[in-house]
Structure 1
């Protein structure tokens, strides 16, 4: 696809090559591929997170913007300043991530800069945003549909939600995956684990990922395997502390696992992977579970049904501990079925989850916006 020296600015996450969450990973995967296709890519970085501040990394231009360093203001003030800077630059298109940045589309509209936003999941329903936070994200998502030239959602279900909630259509471009067909089982020695000796949870210890529900149900089951919980929260939190203080020999909390090879090994060699994420579209942890060949046990939501192709690539549990316990006992009795799910999981990564295909779809959107302005 001809890019004709297309210039794209990306903002709304922590920056590049910093990788902490899903948006940071997407910027890395997408930015590097766009750069190799001849696009001039500029990424706005959160200045406080970078000790060294090189102007260019891997051909990607980096701009380090400040922010008001308060928990609830950091991301919004960083995005606000980044948007103003990008609008006065020579880029053709601005790509924004995170529905919390919805109101800033008014800036690019007034300054006539083509802008697209990836709005991700149902932020206003997440338990961590209570009161004002929930109202802000609902309002912000509505503002995004009003002020941005294009809305990107990463699943068909999220497109349906935006049509229903905001009467606005969106372009569906899924999140990408990096599958792998093997992992070093010796890396499990760090936790004294053996292949297939444990069930696995991966995700932040926040209520909307339902680790408490899964742990409660697992401990009610008859399984003699362990439940390995990978993840934490980067701040003091009563919910996370309550979980980590549970005493049972079957429970193992690893905290964050930042070594990608160790994390890959934990996925590859688990007996089954639990996915309790409730509010969102295409989930990166679920893509890893598919790409690393896991038998998947997922909370029954429309998003998880879509990703697992209505049960082709996983089993489901309801939002209660008894349902989890029942599914664990069923999985323990179903050794052959679990192996079949592991063998067929990678085939669940259809073309829509291929990073190169994802990049081509974004590139098409950017070129259309540039052409429309011209």
Structure 2
């Protein structure tokens, strides 16, 4: 009697869990995990136990393991990953996929147990202002260890691949973050705020220094624009930087805080005159991909990462890290409405194959198969479709 072929088993850890969608890593776990299951992979996701009142063992075919954590600001994420790594190493999974370079040291555990591992290290975490001091030093050290202890290093952009080669002499594979192009959305959700289509500039992101909302706001207020600047995002804790921004009084500013209704968020993206992207550190940025997917005209901080995503100016304009540069680009955009309309009409073309979740999944699957020696039946990737947002 022929032996039954065993499924390829992949464990995913380092995010909050599944189907808890909060940030970029959680979204990646959802998009990647669900597609891997459809391709015949046994996917296990390690969930942060405290975030899940209900704890079903399987959700949409994905096995969920609920591991504990030491609940504190500094230790929650690291302790959750530590316990998850121990559990995975004592199990029969073939490959362990870890996200976040902070988990770099835990690769030593998997190496002791001779488990095959992959890590997605994200961006230049050690340079972010919020990790200044010991936090920044830890991220740099952890990122360096990730290059030594994990079998396969993943960067999500060509620029990050270059950085890891230059800093750590580490080889890596580039697999970008995925995106979902979206169809145009009706303006109902913005009209309740008294807004009309193309009457505002937009910022979406956490109110933290490395996203440069302060720079954009100051530059915008110096401009002669009669449009509004809508700011979507906040921070989930008391913070002086965010408080100072939100206390600015000007009739052209509209702070919405977190927008959890995805249809409303889609409307703000779809109908902005232009989207400001001030994110400074990191590789492929999910907020930028959303802006492309919603057909936005994009004004981005001039960084190597943003140059790469916008194909060196093909899909947007750039500003320098000065208030004067922001002021200039606001006024230039308003005097070039035809150019802004062109950027909006071609934005979705910026979501090339590398940002297609099916293509991204196939690349990860190839890595998992090569490391484990197990093969699964491939399903041809679908072409990206425009997702219709229901009002």
Bin for the TM-score computed over the shorter chain: over 0.9
Partner of residue 262, structure 1: 264
Q: Match of 1:196?
A: 198
Q: Secondary structure at the match of 1:298?
A: strand
Which structure 2 residues correspond to residues 89-128 of structure 1 after superposition, within 5 A? Answer: 89-128=91-130
Residue 220 (structure 1) shift: 0.2
Provide the residue aligned with 2:277 in structure 1: 275
After superposition, what is the alpha-carbon deviation per residue over 1:182-224, rounded to whole angstroms, capped at 9, x for unaligned? 1121111232211000000000000000000000000000000
Residue 5 (structure 1) shift: 1.2
Q: Identify the residue that residue 158 of structure 1 maps to in structure 2.
A: 160
Which residue of structure 1 lines up, in the alignment, with residue 131 of structure 2?
129
Once residues 277 and 6 of structure 2 are traced to their aligned partners in structure 1, the CA distance between those partners, rounded to angstroms, is 42
- Give the deviation of 1:4 after TM superposition: 5.8
Does structure 1 residue 346 correspond to structure 2 residue 348?
yes
SS at match of 1:54: coil
Residues 124-173 of structure 1 show CA distances to partners (whole Å, capped at 9, x for unaligned) of 00000011000000000000000000000000000000000000010000
Q: CA deviation at 1:371?
A: 1.5
Distance in 2 between the 1:40 and 1:104 partners? 23
- Structure 2: any 5+ residue segments left out of the alignment? 375-391
> Aligned residue for 1:362?
364
Distance 1:93 1:295 in 2: 40
Tell me which of 208, 228, 231 is aligned to 2:230.
228
CA RMSD of the aligned region, Å? 0.9
- In the other structure, the counterpart of 2:384 is none
Q: What's the TM-score, normalizing by structure 1?
A: 0.98
Equivalent residue, structure 2, for 1:335: 337
Q: Tell me what 1:74 maps to.
A: 76
Q: Does 1:18 align with 2:17?
A: no
How many residue pairs match? The answer is 370
CA separation in 2, counterparts of 1:175 and 1:207? 23
Query: 1:321: which partner in 2?
Result: 323
Cross-structure match for 2:388: none
Report how far residue 181 of structure 1 moved.
2.1
Residue 311 of structure 1 aligns to a residue whose secondary structure is coil
Q: Distance in 1 between matches of 2:57 and 2:43?
A: 12
TM-score normalised over the length of structure 2:
0.94
Structure 1 residue aligned with 2:381: none
Separation (CA, whole Å) in 2 of partners of 1:4 and 1:176? 29
Report the 3-state secondary structure (helix = DSSP H, G, I; strand = E; otherwise coil) of the residue aligned with 2:131. coil
Separation (CA, whole Å) in 1 of partners of 2:92 and 2:35: 21
| Rounded Cα–Cα distance in structure 1 between residues aligned with 2:66 and 2:6 | 27
Task: Please say if 1:52 is aligned against 2:54.
Answer: yes
Gaps of 5+ in 1: none
- Among 65, 73, 76, the alignment partner of 1:63 is 65
Higher deviation after alignment, 131-140 or 182-191: 182-191
Which residue of structure 2 aligns with residue 179 of structure 1? 181
- SS in structure 1 at match of 2:103: helix
